[in-house]
Structure 1
């Protein structure tokens, strides 16, 4: 299967989401699921904000098409999505703007919007400094809910989250979050293999 591995964190080697995406891809390789892996670092090589193209043959339009084709060619997308200020990174938003294309990954029909990009598996490495899956901060989670909505809109229903949260709440909390996330990675792969 073709795997598209995307990182979006600006933290480089200090990034929890980068550690998790690397672990997910390594597990997919060990299990023989990943026949090819294409890597894209959206923090190191960010896409500009999306703008309409007057000329479909322009360099910018061709680059946008290449991003879309890379996504369409993937069977599995492994996406590093750290929470920045309660939401996703701007680099991830710019990528989503390239793959959410009317007539290509969704269309409007008589019954409303219909996703056209189904059949893909997306595994999202979600990292958060605090605890947002429950408790008083849950109302501030515009990261995972947005990703579920955006990817669901284009037809992706096989969506899984590997979450490490509380990573900024001290060394012990960070270590515990990473251990739980890595356990979750093994369970994701086992569940899909069964």
Structure 2
């Protein structure tokens, strides 16, 4: 039975692009794996504590960190909703990463328990930070997530990027609404297809 670990971090429970796209991914995943298991953490509704000196010193001997690390190690695939807040990831998601990444236990190892695990990150953002755009250098979601997940955990990372999500709500972005709609539609298509492909790959 395949297990998908699903992490959401968007503050708003409704109307969130990242939540909508991760939900579409899970739906497609379960269609391919009806007997599969989805372990869900909503970091906005149930935030984790920031890493403190006691937990950092204890490492895998800390009860919460051990629980999170075991949950991650048991996953066949991981799905993360990572909206851009102030050019980077939500603090709740950073807290999860700080707690779950344990050097010498699952990180910074040549062949750790998470090495090779496929992570799919839904990196939604209100504007566009794509290569060639004026704010390309402000993009610290994909850059950070790719580096920390591959560099620390040895994971494989794929991205789905719904852009311009604020366009329908901002009059000054009205001319960008068609691009926003196209980006949203593409994100849903990618979520469905990537979930299907990943489910098939794991089942093979």
Same fold judged by TM-score > 0.5?
yes
TM-score bracket, normalised by the shorter chain, equals: 0.7 to 0.9
Q: Distance in 1 between matches of 2:34 and 2:144?
A: 28
Judging by fraction of residues, say which structure has more strand: 1
- Map 1:62-141 onto structure 2 (within 5 A): 62-107=63-108, 114=110, 116=112, 117-134=114-131, 135-141=133-139
Q: Distance in 2 between matches of 1:106 and 1:115?
A: 9
The secondary structure found in structure 2 opposite 1:12 is coil
Gapped runs of 5+ residues in structure 1?
108-112
Q: Distance in 2 between matches of 1:82 and 1:157?
A: 20
How many residue pairs were aligned? Answer: 187
Provide the TM-score with structure 1 as the length reference.
0.87
Q: Distance in 1 between matches of 2:125 and 2:35?
A: 27
Match of 1:42 in 2: 43
Provide the TM-score with structure 2 as the length reference.
0.83
- Map 1:15-30 onto structure 2 (within 5 A): 15-30=16-31
Measure how far apart 1:61 and its partner are. Answer: 2.5
From 156, 159, 168, give the equivalent of 1:158.
156
| Distance change in 2, residues 1:9/1:80 (3 Å) | same
Question: What does the per-residue CA deviation read over 1:147-182, in whole Å, with 9 as the maximum and x for residues that have no partner?
Answer: 000001234342111110111122544432220101
Q: Distance in 2 between matches of 1:29 and 1:75?
A: 14
| Distance change in 2, residues 1:53/1:43 (3 Å) | same
Q: Say what the alpha-carbon RMSD is for the aligned residues.
A: 2.3
| Distance change in 2, residues 1:189/1:62 (3 Å) | closer
Q: Distance in 1 between matches of 2:83 and 2:35?
A: 23
Measure how far apart 1:184 and its partner are. Answer: 1.4
Residue range with higher mean Cα deviation, 2-11 or 116-125: 116-125
List 4+ stretches of structure 1 deviating above 3 A.
171-174, 189-194
The secondary structure found in structure 2 opposite 1:123 is strand
